[in-house]
Amino acid sequence: MYAHRRCETLHASATNTLTKLAVPLALILAILVLVERILALLTSGQDSSLLTLVSRSSNNENLKQVEVELKELYAHPVEHPRRPGTSASRGVSGSDERLNEIEVLLARVDVAQENGEDPLKVELLREKLKLFQLSTAVDTAMLPQLQDLLVTPRHGGYLKEHFHAYGYAVVDTDLPHTLLDQAVNKLSWEYPNFKKGYRVQDAWKDVMEVKRIALHQSLLDVLVSLYGRKPRAFQTLNFAQGTEQPMHQDTIHFQSEPEGWMCAIWIAMEDVTIRNGPLAFYKGSNKLKAFTMTDFQLQPTADDYPKYEESLLKQNYDEMPLELGILRKGQALIWDANLVHGGSRRLDKESTRFSQVTHFFFEGTKYYTPMLSQGKKKTYRDPVWVH
Ligand SMILES: O=C(O)CCC(=O)C(=O)O
C-alpha cells in the first residue's frame, strides 16, 4: 500500500515535472525546426559553384583532400570548346589513365552517397567529374552514368541573384514534351536541311509549335522577374545538332540602346549530354564589357567577324569556370546577352541535339547590330517581333 502510494506520488511528481518542461521543450524544438528550415532555405537556392562549396565546407576535414584536388584541377588550363582557326581536337591520348581516375571518382561518389555522407562532398566530386570531362575527350560506355551527375544545377530561390551574378540560370519549365516532339517533327517535314544539321532561323513563322515555345507564358514571366520589363521575342533558331559555334557574346549581333536589354532562352528539346555538344559558357563573363569590333581594332564588317571571335577568346577568363549546359529535355538555360558562350564539341558526331533558342529584347529601347556599327554610326534594327 505504502509502496503503491509512493509510486503514485513519484508518478505525479514526474508528470508534474514533465508538464513544466513540456512548454520550454516544445519551444526549443520549434526553434530548432525553424533554424533548420531557414538554413535549408538559405542553402537550397544557392549556387553550387566550386567556390561556394569550398567556402561552405572549409571546416570539414573530410572534404579537405577533395578541395585540394579540385583546386589543382582548376589550376590546369581547360581547353576551349573550339578555337577559331585551329584544329577543333582536344587531346584523346592518355585517356585510359583519365578513365581509370573517373572510375575511381564514380566509385567514391557511390560510396559517399551510400554512406549518407555530407552532400557537399558528393557535390564536390561531381564538380571534379565535370572538370575531367572538360579536360578529356571521353567517349565510353561510362557516359550514361556520368550524365546524371553532370546535369547542370538549376536555380530556384535565388534565381535572380544567380542570373545577374553569373549571367545565366537553368530552370525547369512546364513545356509539355509532346509540344517539343511535335515541333521537332514539323521542323523535319518543313525544312529538309534541318536534320542535315543546318540551323533554321525564324521557323516560328511556319511552325506553330516553335512559336508556342518562344512565347510560352511561364518563360516570359521569368524574364519579367529577371529584368523587370516586358520581353519581346524577335528571333528563333532551331538546331538538330550541336552547333560547335565559337565563343561569342550575343551583344556583337544584337544590342539595345541603352545597353543591357537583350537575352536568350535556350530550350533542350531532348536530353543534352556530354556527347551531343552542350552549350558552353564562361560563368560570370556577363560582367565583362560588351566587346565591339572597334575594341579589337576591326572593321565593322562580317568579314572581320572571325577575328572578333579570336580576340574574344584572348580575354582573361581565369576566374571564370567554363561551364556546360547539360540539361534534361524541357529544361531551359537563360543567358544574358553579355555572357560569353558557344557550342562545345560533339563527341558523338552522329548525335542529335534538338534545341531551340529564342532571342529577346525588352520594351522601351532602340536596337542595333554592333558587328556592323562603328562609334556613333550605328546600323539600327527594326525587329519583326514573334507574334
Ligand atoms: O546552341 C548552340 O550551340 C549555340 C547557340 C548560340 O550560341 C546562340 O544562339 O547565340
Do residue 181 and residue 106 come from a single domain? no
pLDDT for position 111: 74
Do residue 184 and residue 211 come from a single domain? yes
**pLDDT value at 354 more than 50:** yes
Do residue 274 and residue 198 come from a single domain? yes
Mean pLDDT of 346-355: 87
Q: Contact at 8 Å (CB) between 118 and 63?
A: yes
Residue whose C-alpha cell reads 509540344 in the numeric block: 179
Asked, for residue 65, whether it belongs to a domain, the answer is: yes
Do residue 129 and residue 204 come from a single domain? no
DSSP 37: H
| CATH number for the domain harbouring residue 243 | 2.60.120.620
**pLDDT value at 267 more than 90:** yes
The model's pLDDT over 49-95, given as tens digits with 9 standing for 90+, comes to 333 333 333 334 444 555 455 445 444 433 433 333 323 333 333 45
| 127 vs 372, higher pLDDT | 372
Asked, for residue 387, whether it belongs to a domain, the answer is: no
Cis peptide before 258 (omega within 30 of 0): yes
The model's pLDDT over 225-245, given as tens digits with 9 standing for 90+, comes to 999 999 999 999 999 999 988
Distances (CA, A) of 255 to 122, 238, 249, 298, 302: 41, 21, 10, 18, 16
Please state, in angstroms and rounded to a whole number, the distance separating the CA atoms of residues 153 and 381: 36
Do residue 82 and residue 213 come from a single domain? no
pLDDT for position 280: 86
| 28 vs 195, higher pLDDT | 195
| Residues spanned by the domain of 226 | 159-372
> Quick check: CB of 63 below 6 Å from ligand 1?
no
Atom 10 of ligand 1, nearest CA residue? 250
pLDDT for position 310: 92
Do residue 249 and residue 178 come from a single domain? yes
Residue 50: alpha-carbon gap to chain centroid: 14
| 175 vs 319, higher pLDDT | 175
The model's pLDDT over 291-325, given as tens digits with 9 standing for 90+, comes to 999 999 999 999 999 999 999 988 988 778 778 88
Atom 3 of ligand 1, nearest CA residue? 343
359 Cα nearest atom in ligand 1: 9
**Distance between Cα 113 and ligand 1 center (Å):** 35
In this structure, the number of other CB atoms found within 10 A of the CB of residue 342 comes to 21
pLDDT band at 215; cut points 50, 70, 90: very high
pLDDT for position 11: 53
**pLDDT value at 47 more than 50:** no
Mean pLDDT of 124-132: 65
Do residue 188 and residue 130 come from a single domain? no
237 Cα nearest atom in ligand 1: 9
Do residue 130 and residue 171 come from a single domain? no
Please state, in angstroms and rounded to a whole number, the distance separating the CA atoms of residues 205 and 357: 15
Supply the mean pLDDT for the chain.
77
Mean pLDDT of 30-47: 48
Residue at which a domain ends, from 102, 127, 149: 149
Do residue 175 and residue 304 come from a single domain? yes
pLDDT for position 40: 42
Contact partners, residue 308, CB within 8 Å, separation at least 6: 248, 252, 291, 293, 296, 298, 371
Q: Contact at 8 Å (CB) between 274 and 324?
A: yes
In this structure, the number of other CB atoms found within 10 A of the CB of residue 164 comes to 14
The percentage of the chain sitting over the pLDDT mark of 70, rounded to a whole number, equals 64
> Quick check: CB of 263 below 6 Å from ligand 1?
no
Q: Contact at 8 Å (CB) between 279 and 343?
A: yes
Residue whose C-alpha cell reads 528539346 in the numeric block: 269
243 Cα nearest atom in ligand 1: 3
> Quick check: CB of 327 below 6 Å from ligand 1?
no
> Quick check: CB of 240 below 6 Å from ligand 1?
no
pLDDT band at 1; cut points 50, 70, 90: very low
**Distance between Cα 225 and ligand 1 center (Å):** 23
> Quick check: CB of 241 below 6 Å from ligand 1?
no
Residue whose C-alpha cell reads 560510396 in the numeric block: 111
**pLDDT value at 157 more than 80:** no
**pLDDT value at 212 more than 50:** yes
Q: Which of 85, 181, 74 is nearest to 135 (CA)?
A: 74
Spatial strand order of the sheet with 279-282 comes to 322-325, 279-282, 341-343
Do residue 81 and residue 195 come from a single domain? no
Cell of 185: 517533327
The number of distinct structural domains making up the chain is: 2
The percentage of the chain sitting over the pLDDT mark of 90, rounded to a whole number, equals 47
Q: Which of 163, 173, 170 is nearest to 225 (CA)?
A: 163
pLDDT band at 127; cut points 50, 70, 90: low
Among the residue ranges 161-165, 248-252, 366-370, the one predicted with the least confidence is 161-165
Do residue 182 and residue 247 come from a single domain? yes
Do residue 284 and residue 166 come from a single domain? yes
pLDDT for position 57: 34
**Distance between Cα 344 and ligand 1 center (Å):** 10
pLDDT for position 250: 98
Asked, for residue 275, whether it belongs to a domain, the answer is: yes
Q: What is the pTM of this model?
A: 0.69
pLDDT for position 348: 76
